[in-house]
Each structure stands twice: as structure tokens, then as C-alpha cells.
Structure 1
């Protein structure tokens, strides 16, 4: 049985748009992962980083996945490494960052993995893309629609960059 997962790809180093496209291409080859939809690409400030840090481009992916969240995390970390990601520091610029935001309605808390992503409801740059794909998606802990947590003020912090890359279910 598969779970519907939401993955957020982000980049603020190098050719950001190419980095996202490369990550998406590599996601297609993860065993057990079938991409259902992708969001547009959004731009947002590099929140919590030095003010000189380049802005982030972010794109969400909705997929069906047949294996465990831990196995998906391993596959995503391998893609990050192949695409030049070094270190896992929170405040560092990165060529690519792949985060599991939601894994069905599962709640997982371990040393390596927190699902739903513990910062999801505080990050407009993560909520806007997943809501473009599924406006009714609910948060497994609050049991409320994710849209309840994205204010108009927060929406204004995220700019649509490129819409034609979106692939709807």
C-alpha cells in the first residue's frame, strides 16, 4: 500500500531553477515513488540566513510512495549529495534541499526524521506550493486544513516565479 507524500525541493545556490529540475528528474527514479503532481516554482527570501544570501526557489511534489518514510529520507539525502549538497546546517545556503513535509497522515518523530515537518506550519514557502497542488490537504497533528495556517500576509512573502512547470493530478 502506498502513502501520498509531499516533498519540498528548495535551492538558493548556483542555477536554482536547474537545481530544482535536476532534483525532480532524479525523484522520477526513486524505486516505489510515483510523482502525481508538481507545483509552480516560488521565490522567497532566505529566511533566517544572512541578509546577503540569495533568495530561495521552492517547488513542491506530491507523489505516491510504497515504502517507509525512512527509506524515502535515505533516497532524498542521496539525491542531495549527488547534486552537490554539502552539510546539513540549517542556516547554510544550499544547491538543493529536499524535505519530506507530509507522509500520508503519519506522525513520526525520531532523531533523523520529523513528520509532518516540524516547521511546515511556520513556512509560507512550504505551504503555498503544497496548497497549489492540493488546497484541501490537512495537517496530521492539528487535523485542520493547512490553508488555515497561511495568512494573506504570509502569502505575500512568497512570489510565483514560474507556473508552467506545474503538473496537476
Structure 2
């Protein structure tokens, strides 16, 4: 039976909205996947090197028949199809797909950490996540994600700038 997974989408190169839309469509097209929700698009300054464009970010919720490891592999394949480069940590990227949550699962392996280890520190993850799942709790802290978001400073606040069109196959 499918489990609910939450995926962060990001882009700061080229047609940022286009890359987010293409990434969302590719995720929704994964076999047996149901797109349950999509957040607004949020804009934030980059986390890494400052000499790169601002990011556009969103979060989607899917009901996924793939297990978490297979889903992560599928997300990496989608990134690669959209010319994602992994040369610079926190560097610019055409498309970034992060598996944030997979149900209530907690995984700590070399290849996958769930929940995503840095999500509580990032408004560009928490703001869109709280928009589509306001009652969701962190699997490790048992606190609502809205509480984690409220603790962040406003200096890194993500601001909603529009919506992401749902793909036709959703």
C-alpha cells in the first residue's frame, strides 16, 4: 500500500519555474504515484555560495508505491534528466529534489536519512511543507513542523510568490 512522502523541489538556474514544473510532472508520472498536494512557490536567497541566483522552492506530497530507497533513486534520475550537477556542495542547480519525509519512517544510512536532516533549519522547506500539511509532526521530535518554522529567524524567511501548475497526469 502506498505511503505518503513529502518531496522538496528547488531550482536557481535557468527557467526556475519551468524546472520546478518539469520536476513536479516527472514525480507525478512515476508509476503508481498519486500527487496529493503541491505548495505555493517560495523564493529564498541561496544557502551556499552567495554568488548564485535566488532559489525557487516548493514541496509536494505524493502517495508512493516505491519504497524510500527506490523513490530516492527515482528522484536522482529525474534530477539527472534535468542536467543537475553535483560538483559544488550547496551550489547552483537546475533541479533539486529532496526526499524530506516518507511516512513516519526514520532511516539513518549512508545513502538516505529520513527525515531529511536539515529540514528543521530551512524556511524554504518548512514554509511550503506547513502550507500543505499544517498538522504534520516531525517523526523524531514529535513536535509540529509549524513549531519548528516559528522558531526560525525572519532573516531567512521564504516568501510565497505564486503557484505551481499541477501536471495533467496528476
Establish whether TM, by shorter chain, passes 0.5: yes
TM-score (norm: length of structure 1)? 0.92
Greater alpha carbon shift after TM alignment, 86-95 vs 5-14? 86-95
Q: Which sections of structure 1, spanning at least 5 residues, go unmatched? A: none
Displacement of 1:86 after TM fit? 1.5
SS at match of 2:59: strand
Structure-2 residue corresponding to 1:114? 113
Distance of aligned partners of 1:113 and 1:22 in 2 relative to their CA distance in 1, 3 Å threshold? same
Q: What does residue range 7-156 of structure 1 map to in structure 2 within 5 Å?
A: 7-47=7-47, 49-87=48-86, 89-151=88-150, 153-154=153-154
SS at match of 1:17: helix
Q: In angstroms, what is the RMSD of aligned CA positions? A: 1.8
Displacement of 1:36 after TM fit? 0.5
Displacement of 1:30 after TM fit? 0.8
Q: Contact 1:124–1:155 (CA<8 Å) still a contact in 2?
A: no
Displacement of 1:32 after TM fit? 2.9
TM-score (norm: length of structure 2)? 0.91
Distance of aligned partners of 1:51 and 1:131 in 2 relative to their CA distance in 1, 3 Å threshold? same
For each residue in 1:126-169, what CA deviation from the matched residue of structure 2 results, as whole angstroms up to 9, or x when unmatched? 000011001111100011101111127348611111036479xx
Displacement of 1:33 after TM fit? 1.7
SS at match of 2:94: coil
Structure-2 residue corresponding to 1:161? 161
